[in-house]
């Protein structure tokens, strides 16, 4: 009997991070643009009372250049950058899972490990650095995305549209609830002034209204107390940050409208990637038409809401009625921004800006946390303590400095390293294997380079 030769069994393909050759410059450029745009909006909450983000009358100035900063942000950036960032996250879900599955790898393990690590990073980032951080909410919403990855683009668009409608309806419904709460609180105050005791319903409404008013319509004394907390020690800042997180972010239920907003944009991003929009596969004419239509519709909707919000003097409750045009305006302008950036990347135009933007986007995790480290150092008491001391327009100087720094340093870093530092850590934890970090340096003839030496034998 002839001996049977052992047959070699091919090792199953190993999961690994996306290579440089597989990266989509257009998608990275959109991500980088959104990240820098998010800082443009976040800086208002870094340097001023949280209520001043929507209401310049609270702090930072509401006339002249300060008012114009609010108007321009409202027209072009507020909500649009967050929408773009969420859409790119959704597109990334398809990029990651489809790439793994094309190689015969079960993507679920990698995907959920990646999401759960992001959640832990987000919790640390939220409590240690930035109350308005987005990593934890993204991870939370990302847990639900995986089963939808194989849906057709049309179905994903429908799912996104449903969430947009639900979110807009919830915002208007919330306005009616807040208006009713305010009316009950005023009735309770009148009864107390007359020496009568309001019933529990009115008393409860009064307490809830006072809590809301302190956060969204604070008086000078409350603004001063808020500034003292943020300009205090690390312990004081940590306590204030934790209070706000539990009130607005980490204390909200999973099915809250805040998550509907994120899901809407993530599902849309998944659809747009499947349609070839983010990868630059559509024609130049398509992107031109999308940009033109987006700016025309979005700027009209945003101008309407901006004029009315100024007319009602930024009233915390009444401005909520203009939420009906909010999603239309921000989605239209956001898509127009994306179309313009993808078109520039597709045609190879303005590479002096699209290249650095792509580098910023490739290192989005590191750059996002870097923004938090810089801003916490600039504004909080354990740093320079500039919280509440700059006008709205002056905050743009900080934005310009940080953006310029990241646009310069990111391409330089990526000449020598495969990932940003936090991207490297995240990927090593996701794939449960230490990833190569440095880019191999060309070796002299006949001498193996660093990677060859490391793998030799």
In this structure, which long-range contacts are made by residues 94-103, counting pairs with CB atoms below 8 Å and at least 24 apart in sequence? 94/149, 94/270, 94/273, 94/274, 95/18, 95/24, 95/27, 95/273, 96/18, 97/146, 97/149, 98/149, 99/18, 99/22, 100/15, 103/13
Q: Tens digit of pLDDT for each residue in 363-396?
A: 999 999 999 999 999 999 999 999 999 999 999 9
Q: Closest Cα partner for 291 from 332, 244, 330, 261?
A: 332
Cα distance between residue 66 and residue 392, in whole Å: 5
Residue pair 414/359 in contact by the 8 Å Cβ criterion: yes
pLDDT of residue 453: 33
pLDDT of residue 10: 46
Q: Write down the H helix ranges in 50-134.
A: 64-76, 80-102, 107-128
For tokens 């956001």, name the residue: 334
At 456, the pLDDT band (50, 70, 90 cuts) reads very low
Using the predicted structure, report yes or no on whether residue 351 has a pLDDT greater than 90: yes
* 42-69: average pLDDT: 94
Using the predicted structure, report yes or no on whether residue 303 has a pLDDT greater than 60: yes
Considering only residues 320 and 167, tell me which one the structure prediction assigns the higher pLDDT.
167
Q: Tens digit of pLDDT for each residue in 81-102?
A: 999 999 999 999 999 999 999 9
At 272, the pLDDT band (50, 70, 90 cuts) reads very high
SS3 58: coil
Percent residues over pLDDT 70 in the chain: 91
Q: Closest Cα partner for 349 from 20, 25, 92, 36?
A: 25
Cα distance between residue 431 and residue 425, in whole Å: 10
Cα distance between residue 222 and residue 298, in whole Å: 36
Mean pLDDT of the chain: 89
* 63-91: average pLDDT: 96
At 268, the pLDDT band (50, 70, 90 cuts) reads very high
Using the predicted structure, report yes or no on whether residue 349 has a pLDDT greater than 60: yes
Using the predicted structure, report yes or no on whether residue 444 has a pLDDT greater than 80: no
pLDDT of residue 200: 87
Q: Tens digit of pLDDT for each residue in 414-425?
A: 999 999 999 999
Cα distance between residue 294 and residue 300, in whole Å: 10
Considering only residues 295 and 213, tell me which one the structure prediction assigns the higher pLDDT.
295
* 403-429: average pLDDT: 96
Full 3-state SS string of 405-455 = HHHHHHHHHHHHECCCHHHHHHHHHHCCCCCCCECCCCCCCCCCCHHHHHH
Considering only residues 273 and 454, tell me which one the structure prediction assigns the higher pLDDT.
273
pLDDT of residue 1: 45
Window from 7-16, 169-178, 179-188, 442-451 with minimum mean pLDDT:
442-451
The set of residues, in sequence order, having a beta carbon less than 8 Å from that of 20 and lying 6+ positions away, is 418
Q: Tens digit of pLDDT for each residue in 139-182?
A: 999 999 999 999 999 999 999 999 999 988 888 888 888 888 88
In order of 38, 226, 345, 355, 411, the CA distances from 352 in angstroms are 21, 42, 11, 6, 11
The DSSP symbol for 8 reads: P
């Amino acid at each position: 009997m002839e001996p049977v030769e052992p047959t070699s069994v091919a090792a199953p393909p190993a999961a690994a991070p996306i290579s440089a050759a597989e990266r989509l410059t257009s998608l990275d450029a959109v991500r980088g643009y959104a990240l820098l745009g998010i800082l443009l909006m976040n800086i208002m909450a870094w340097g001023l009372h949280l209520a001043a983000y929507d209401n310049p009358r609270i702090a930072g100035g509401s006339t002249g250049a300060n008012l114009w900063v609010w108007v321009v942000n409202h027209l072009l950036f507020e909500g649009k950058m967050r929408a773009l960032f969420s859409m790119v996250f959704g597109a990334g879900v398809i990029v990651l899972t489809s790439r793994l599955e094309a190689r015969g790898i079960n993507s679920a393990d990698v995907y959920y490990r990646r999401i759960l690590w992001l959640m832990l990073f987000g919790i640390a980032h939220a409590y240690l650095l930035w109350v308005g951080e987005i990593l934890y909410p993204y991870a939370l919403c990302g847990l639900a995305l995986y089963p939808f990855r194989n849906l057709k683009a049309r179905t994903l668009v429908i799912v996104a549209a449903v969430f947009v409608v639900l979110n807009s309806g919830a915002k208007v419904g919330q306005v009616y609830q807040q208006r009713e709460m305010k009316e009950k609180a005023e009735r309770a105050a009148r009864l107390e002034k007359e020496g009568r005791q309001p019933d529990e319903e009115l008393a409860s409404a009064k307490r809830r209204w006072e809590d809301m008013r302190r956060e969204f319509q604070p008086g000078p004394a409350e603004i001063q107390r808020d500034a003292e907390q943020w300009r205090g020690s690390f312990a004081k800042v940590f306590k204030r940050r934790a209070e706000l997180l539990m009130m607005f972010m980490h204390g909200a239920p999973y099915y809250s409208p805040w998550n509907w907003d994120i899901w809407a944009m993530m599902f849309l991003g998944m659809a747009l990637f499947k349609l070839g929009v983010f990868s630059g596969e559509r024609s130049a004419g398509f992107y031109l038409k999308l940009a033109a239509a987006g700016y025309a519709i979005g700027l009209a909707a945003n101008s309407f809401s901006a004029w009315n919000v100024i007319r009602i003097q930024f009233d915390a409750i009444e401005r909520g009625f203009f939420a009906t045009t909010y999603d239309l305006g921000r989605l239209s302008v956001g898509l127009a921004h994306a179309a313009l950036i993808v078109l520039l990347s597709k045609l190879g135009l303005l590479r002096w800006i699209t290249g650095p933007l792509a580098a910023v986007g490739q290192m989005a995790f590191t750059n996002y946390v870097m923004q938090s480290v810089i801003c916490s150092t600039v504004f909080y008491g354990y740093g320079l303590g500039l919280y509440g001391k700059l006008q709205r327009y002056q905050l743009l100087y900080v934005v310009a400095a940080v953006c310029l720094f990241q646009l310069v340093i990111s391409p330089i870093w990526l000449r020598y390293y495969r990932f940003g530092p936090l991207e490297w850590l995240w990927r090593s934890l996701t794939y449960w294997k230490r990833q190569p970090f440095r880019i191999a340096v060309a070796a002299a003839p006949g001498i193996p380079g660093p990677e060859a030496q490391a793998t030799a034998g």
